[in-house]
Structures are given as structure tokens and as C-alpha cells.
Structure 1
Amino acid sequence: MGSRNEPHEAPAIQTFASELTAWRTDAALTKTALAETLGYTPQWISQVEAAKSVPSKEFAENLDTFYKTNGLFKRLQRRIIDTRHQAILPPGFAAYQEREAEATQIRVYQLTLVHGLLQTEDYIRAVVGHRQDPDTTERFVAERLKRQEILTRENPPHVWFTLDEAALRREVAPREVMREQLAHILSLEERPNIAIDIVPLSAGYYPGLAGSFTILSFTNTPDVVYGEMAGQGMLIQEPRIVAKFAVTYNSLRGDALRVEESRSLITIVMEEMST
């Protein structure tokens, strides 16, 4: 995943802010007057109406009581909490995830981190939990684990993962979590629908250093490509561009070790993290 969006970019927070402004304006109240009535500061009211602060449950309930709504602000506040994690996802990822679930073949090249479909629960928590509140982190963990079910469902897609060795060695979590993660990769590779190979650091410079990407293939529709750059997700459907990515992926696999050699390298890295 890419960069984390600020709160004001979340549509649910924007809706809360606009509703608060509308109800306050209809009541002919200034921000100062509303703040004094409810026991908050004018600066807080301004922050919420500018969608720059996440309103609390208590604040929402106070608004509902004051304006005698049917629980409008409490529902909006709940919506903010329920969807807050979605605002952190790169634009384009939601559309990609829908297509991923429909794919019959998936070809992945991953440069910096273990790919989401391969991540263990603790590895996910370490990656997505950085600077996130516990509720948002756990929601991410649950959704990613649910997403991984495509690998083990009935009639799963055939998936090829090509990982850079750096993704195995980057210690984004404690070593015991990293060892568990590498062991999980080895166990998944034993499944008949999954192949995993590694581009070793000894490969030096190669085209994959330009960035990670995923190619999705389907039964009756053209392939698509998804990639992320500078926190922006892109789902590419232009056949000419998709074809170039397919050629690049085949080339990257030429730089990778054979499957058995890759298993040996993963095992070596795992053992090194035991010392």
C-alpha cells in the first residue's frame, strides 16, 4: 500500500462536516455560539466543519440531542469509524481488489515488501499498523486475511509470485515474525496453484527495480495491470501497455532463481534471522 491520506480526504468526514455546517446555519448559530452551548471551543467546531478533525461519539450524540435529530450525527460518526481505513488505501486499489477476486491467473512482481496475498497476520499488523489506531489496524488485518482466501478457495486462481530478495530481508517486524512470514511463504508454495521465485540481490541492476506490479488474467475479458507509485494506485486496461508489462514480467522471471533455488534462498534467509 501507498501513503496514508489525511482525515479531511475521507468522504464520510466531509459529509459529517457539511451536515454540521448546514444544521448550524439553519439554526442561525455562529460557531462560537454553538461551541458555548455544547461546551466545546470555537476552534474545535471550526476543525470539524473543515473536515480536519474526526468527531467523537460523544460530540455526535451531543449534536443529536441539541438539534433533536433521529440519530443522524451518531450514524455519520459511526460511518467515519467504519470507513476510515478505506481512506488510507491508494486510489485505484478498491477497483483492483474487485478484479483480483475474479481473476483466473495472477502474476505478481514485488520489490520492497512481501505481497499482501502472502502476508501472515502478524506481518500485516506490523506493516499496516504504523501510525494507525488499533481499530483501524485490526480492520485492515481482517480484510487482508479475508482477501487471501482466494488462494485456497475452490477453483483458486493460478498465481505466480516473483519477489525481490530485499522483500524477504527487510525487517519490518521483529525477527520471530519475519521467520514465521518466511515459513508461511514456503508452505504456500507447496500448493499446486502457487509458484514463488526470488530475484537474488546478486542480480544487481535489473528492470524490476522500477517498481512492483500485478497482472490479472480472466476467462473472457482482457488482462489488466495494477501498480502503485508515490501513493497512487493505477489500474491499467490499455492492451498495448498491459502487453508490455507481460513482456517485462517474463523478463523478470528470467532474472529470478528457479523455484527450488528460491526455496533454498528463503530457507537461508529464515535461518539467518534465527541468529
Structure 2
Amino acid sequence: MQLVPLLAEPYEKGPCVTHISALDPGASPLDYYGFELRRHREAAGLTQKQLGDIVNYTGSLVGQIETARKLPTPEFSERVDAALGTGGLLSRLVGLVLRSHVPAWFQQVAELEVRATEICTFQMGLVHGLLQTDAYVRATLGALDRRDLDDRTAVRLARQRIFEAGEPPVFWMVLSEAALYQEIGGPDTMRGQLAHLLASEHDPRVNIQVLPFRAGAHAGLTGSFTLYRFDTDPAIVYTESYGSGHPTANPATVRDCSLRYDHLQAAALSLRDSAGLIRRVMEERYGEQRGSGRGPVAQVEL
């Protein structure tokens, strides 16, 4: 289904509603969401514009979501639930809707993230998607293709809701120091991204270690990878290439990557020293004083 941009032709003009299509609520999670949104709005006696005014969105956007032509966001769902008194129905549905729009090749991994009790990832050049900020996501996804960027950004950010679950997974990330210097989206975006990493400094379920340049040759030179561990199921290793993902539960591969991850953690800075380096790079490379003519910040010996 082709999603239309936010500024598409409005569905509502004055008191009359036009361009309303019949939805089959069983066609997809998005169709079901739109069906329920329209049903509850009409039961409340509100037009699309009136509901939009209440929740601080346009009536056009309400119409696009009702006709399954635009993806809802968690924030939109929460506001509409409150306005229509739906008991959190749309907030419960939105996760299913957004997961259903994850790229087909990533669907299985998105489900692994939801079920995992522990996620261990090594990232060479980018912050892992589960810890990316809105601006960082937009900069990475929009580097070559900005079509439907709002929707694609919402889909990626929705994955982070696993940390809001009753029993969220324990997350470990070994991040190459190079990712701190790769200026994705400009200084403001990087400053916000590094600040977001530091916000997890005292959260025992989100642990970030930086693999410093001075580590030299290391166990992750073959590329980024992620380990998913579960209470009862076998662990799964996930690697990625252009436009495709490769999850495997092959015991030999899992053992090899588990050993590699242990060595990467041993070579990385401690949690405390990693936070110190992230803070220093954030302030000295991406701080407000940047542009004074200085070169890149010197490496810090911790």
C-alpha cells in the first residue's frame, strides 16, 4: 500500500467529509486501526477536524490515518485515546501497526527484539537503532531517500518501546569510537544523540561501552553483529548486509560470536570511562564552541 505524504490533499473540507473509502478491518493492522479510529470518532459525534483540533493534529492527518494512508504514531494514539476515552485501545494497536511496516527482511529481527531477555550488539559505524534519536534516525534513513521519511522514522523509533515493557531486555552495546566522530546529521544531531546515550548512564538495563581507537586490531573487525538471548529458546546471531538481514541459531556461529563479543567487551572501556569519553566528545567536538577554528578533538587517554 502506498503511503501518502503528510501534506496530501485533505480528506475533510468544511462540515462535509469527502474521499472516504470503505475499510476492511481484516486487511491489515493499519486498516484495523483506521477502522477503530473512525468508529470511535463517529461514536463521539466528532468530525475529523474537530478531533484534530482536540488532539492538536490536522483533520487531514486524522482522515489519512482513518483511511489507512498514513501511519499513526504512539503520541497520536495516546492523545486520541485520551480524547475519545477508548481505554488505551489505539495505544495498544499502534505497536502492532508499526511493526507490520518494518521492512520485510527485518520483520523476524523486530520480533526477536520484542521476545529477547538480553540483547548484545557490536556496532562499528552507527549507534544501534534501539538507541537512536529522532534526528539521528532521520539523518540515517534520509541520506539517499527522503520518501515517506516521517513514516519510516516512526517505524524505527517504535522499536524502542520494548524498553517500556514490564520486563524490558537487558541491552549491551559495544560501540566503536569511530561512531562518536562520524558526524551524522550535523553537530546538533550528534550532540543530541550522544546526550541520549549518556541519559542511560545509570540505567542497569542499558549498558554502553566504547571500543577505543587504541584497541587496535580487535575481534569485531569482520563487522557489526547482534546476539539475542532468551529464557528458553536458543540464542540467535543477527548480521546485516545491503537490504537484507541474516539471523541464525547455528550453534557454531552463536558460540563464535559470543566469544567475539566477550573479547570486545574486554577490549572496550569500562561503563564509567565510556560515559566519560562520550561526554568529552559531545562537549569538545559538538559543543556550542565548535567552529572556533580548532581541529578535531585530540584522543583522550582514559
TM-score, structure 1 length as denominator? 0.67
**Change over 3 Å in CA distance of 1:88–1:96 after alignment to 2:** closer
Q: 1:180 aligns with which of 181, 185, 192?
A: 192
Distance in 1 between the 2:241 and 2:146 partners?
25
For structure 1, list consecutive stretches of 5 or more residues without a partner in the other structure: 1-11, 14-56, 59-69
1 or 2 for the larger relative contact order (CA 8 Å, sep ≥6)? 1
Question: Aligned AA for 2:270?
Answer: R
Question: Aligned AA for 1:144?
Answer: R
Structure 1: 4+ residue segments shifted above 3 A:
78-83, 86-89
Distance in 2 between the 1:237 and 1:80 partners?
37
Q: CA deviation at 1:205?
A: 2.1
Question: Aligned AA for 2:278?
Answer: I
Matches within 5 A, 1:98-247: 98-134=111-147, 136-247=148-259
Matches within 5 A, 1:35-50: none
Matches within 5 A, 1:67-78: none
| Identity within the alignment, % | 37
Q: 1:97 aligns with which of 105, 110, 131?
A: 110
Question: Aligned AA for 1:95?
Answer: Q
Distance in 2 between the 1:155 and 1:100 partners?
13
The aligned length equals 203
Question: Aligned AA for 2:110?
Answer: Q
Distance in 1 between the 2:130 and 2:274 partners?
18
Q: CA RMSD in A?
A: 2.8
Q: Which protein shows a greater Rg?
A: 1
Tell me which residue corresponds to 1:40: none
- Structure with the higher fraction of residues in helix conformation: 1
Question: Aligned AA for 1:117?
Answer: L
Q: CA deviation at 1:79?
A: 8.3
For structure 2, list consecutive stretches of 5 or more residues without a partner in the other structure: 3-7, 10-20, 28-66, 72-96, 291-302
TM-score, structure 2 length as denominator? 0.61
Cα shift readout 1:5-51 (whole Å, capped 9, x = no counterpart): xxxxxxx69xxxxxxxxxxxxxxxxxxxxxxxxxxxxxxxxxxxxxx
